[in-house]
Amino acid sequence: MQYSLNVENIRADFPIFQNNPDLIFLDNASTTQKPQKVLDTLTDYYENYNSNIHRGIYTIAEKATAAYEDTRDKTTSFIGAEDRRSIVFTRGTTESINLVAYSWGQNLKPGDEVLITEMEHHSNIIPWQLICEKTGASLKYIPICEDGTLDLSNSDTYFTEKTRIVCVIHQSNVFGTVNPITDIVKQAHDVGALVLVDGAQSVPHHRVNVSQLGCDFFAFSGHKMMGPTGVGVLYAKPELLEEMNPFLGGGEMIREVSMEKSTWNDIPWKFEAGTPNIAQVIGLGAAIDYLNKIGIQSISDYEKELHNYGKEKLQNIPGLSIYGDAKKKGAVISFNIENIHPHDVAHILDTSGIAIRAGHHCAQPIMRKLGVTATNRASFYIYNTFAEIDNLIEGLTKTVDLFS
């Protein structure tokens, strides 16, 4: 098998594989492992310049502030944003979407429509259910086809003059489908609607340029791109952030406070209340550096080879069905084996050190559409190998034999 990355050198950057030499980690759509560079960055902050940011005038506080804001600049460049004021640090994709739902969603009223898809992660369903219930707006869904793609054949039915915002996942965490965001953005903007994109599954694996996509909001998480847990990003067009009310109140997001009223800080700090997740943000900057060093296109190309190899091998397992067959996909394969519960499959594989996901993947509407309660899911990243896929196939073959 020919590929461009030196995967063994990459694996050597990840302490978890040195400490767990038998681990085969194939649950990267859930979270990713962390390279030594990210871990060292976190340790360096806590050991050498741990302090609060923005308000301290002493040396280590200024160093921490500079490192935190440097990550904002790195993030701006990494996703092709035009203005660093567009980058708001949150705890993750879920918080980013909730921020938009609660802050921008206050504009909704009865008669308005929020348009999402049947493909969404729960994080891009529940906030909109809650805000629609609160405001009286209606929630509509774009259906999915049997091949795991969006059914946009009757798009005029969904994109109407009542549509105020369209919220769509960029890459499905179940099917791996990469949705046609630029087309969706155009249809939404044509009817005067905004677009929020859940990019949690796309940013770590593909080159994303929010300016080219044209979306109004874009959310993603650090832990899915080899960064720390507890940090995420909301990209939003500055003019929207200016108009939106703060999501949380407290320190940092204020300009002036009196007993009668308060005024707000400039964007993006208007949306970063309290002591922020400083170490995690700085660690995210290190993860972006690591991704840039390897190259997103190299990552995408290698993962495509892993996906194609895995899919070909999986199709040889008796009774195995793969869900989703979009032409444009990420390195995610969801499958079931006839008459074997996904939890049993995952448990048996775990006895051989193979970690896959089994469950509804925070996407129960998809499971209902497929007529199943759960699926198995193998998801690949740059430190996975073709040999690990062979081990997966061997483990699945043994599982089938156990139940035959």
DSSP string, 325-394: --SSB-SEEEEEETTB-HHHHHHHHHTTTEE-EEE-TT-HHHHHHHT-S-EEEEE--TT--HHHHHHHHH
Q: What is the dihedral sign for C-alpha 379, 382, 383, 389? A: positive
Kind plus residue range of the DSSP H or E element containing 88: strand 87-90
**329-155-147 Cα angle (round to 5):** 30
Annotated catalytic residue, options 132, 145, 167, 362: 362
Q: Is 362 a catalytic residue?
A: yes
Residues 151 and 135: their CA atoms lie apart, in Å, by: 28
Do 326 and 148 contact (CB within 8 A), yes or no? yes
Kind plus residue range of the DSSP H or E element containing 221: strand 217-221
Composition of the chain by helix, strand, coil, percent to 5: 45, 20, 40
**Cis preceding linkage at 143, omega within 30:** no
Residues 50 and 7: their CA atoms lie apart, in Å, by: 34
Residues 57 and 55: their CA atoms lie apart, in Å, by: 6
Which residues are known catalytic residues?
362
